């Protein structure tokens, strides 16, 4: 994924999703079925040691840049969910509010998780860094449940970008939000890298 810029119109200070076009949220897919294998249900039922594993350990890595035009706190969060409505997703990681004094800084959020097709639960921990402030390994406290590996994506969206493009919204995935505590025309936020990897 190429860099995505987020902004709040220069004066905004509300939590904002990183989007393709100002509306449709950028999602890093969590393709549970393809990661676990197509025969995961059979494996779980028969305990077949020759089949695909019913559980996985994974990492989600988000990396970017933030800049402020005045002294301001910056808060970055990672959510599990695919909704364009922030409250419909589940917050799983945060930098907390970090002061950035008319400066630029890289940031990162790393989530290390585990998932299995029996419980359908995602569990794990995260770490973050922003402007010299680091969050060590912190347990994910908001439960992510009912992640069914057999669910297939069905929703298609056409962006309002130029040129426009149509894509299928993943059944499950992760997204990023940012908040500048003080609005300023110099505030900029970028999501440069967003990937899920099997450990």
Per-residue pLDDT of the chain (199 residues; tens, 9 = 90+): 445 656 544 567 899 999 888 888 999 998 766 655 544 444 444 555 555 567 888 999 999 999 999 999 999 999 999 999 999 999 999 999 999 998 899 999 999 999 987 888 999 999 999 999 999 999 999 989 999 877 877 788 888 777 888 888 888 999 999 999 998 888 999 999 999 988 7
88: DSSP letter? G
pTM as predicted: 0.86
- H or E element: which one contains 34? helix 32-36
Under DSSP, is residue 82 helix (H, G, I), strand (E, B) or coil?
coil
Angstrom distance (rounded) from CA 175 to CA 144: 14
For 101, other C-beta atoms within 10 Å of its C-beta total: 9
Task: Give the residue extent of every domain in the chain.
Answer: 4-38+56-198
């Amino acid at each position: 994924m190429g860099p995505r810029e987020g902004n709040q119109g220069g004066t905004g200070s509300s939590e904002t999703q990183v989007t393709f076009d100002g509306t449709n949220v950028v999602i890093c897919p969590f393709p549970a079925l393809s990661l676990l294998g197509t025969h995961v249900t059979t494996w779980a039922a028969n305990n077949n040691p020759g089949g695909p594993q019913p559980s996985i350990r994974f990492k989600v890595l988000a990396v970017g840049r933030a800049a402020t035009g005045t002294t301001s706190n910056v808060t970055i969060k990672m959510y599990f969910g695919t909704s364009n409505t922030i409250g419909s997703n589940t917050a799983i990681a945060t930098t907390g509010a970090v002061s950035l004094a008319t400066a630029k800084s890289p940031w990162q959020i790393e989530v290390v998780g585990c998932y299995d097709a029996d419980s359908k639960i995602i569990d794990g921990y995260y770490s973050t860094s922003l402007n010299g402030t680091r969050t060590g390994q912190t347990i994910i406290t908001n439960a992510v449940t009912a992640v069914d590996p057999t669910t297939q994506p069905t929703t298609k969206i056409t962006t309002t970008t130029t040129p426009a493009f149509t894509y299928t919204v993943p059944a499950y995935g992760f997204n990023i939000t940012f908040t500048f505590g003080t609005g300023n025309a110099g505030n900029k936020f970028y999501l440069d890298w967003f990937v899920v990897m099997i450990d």
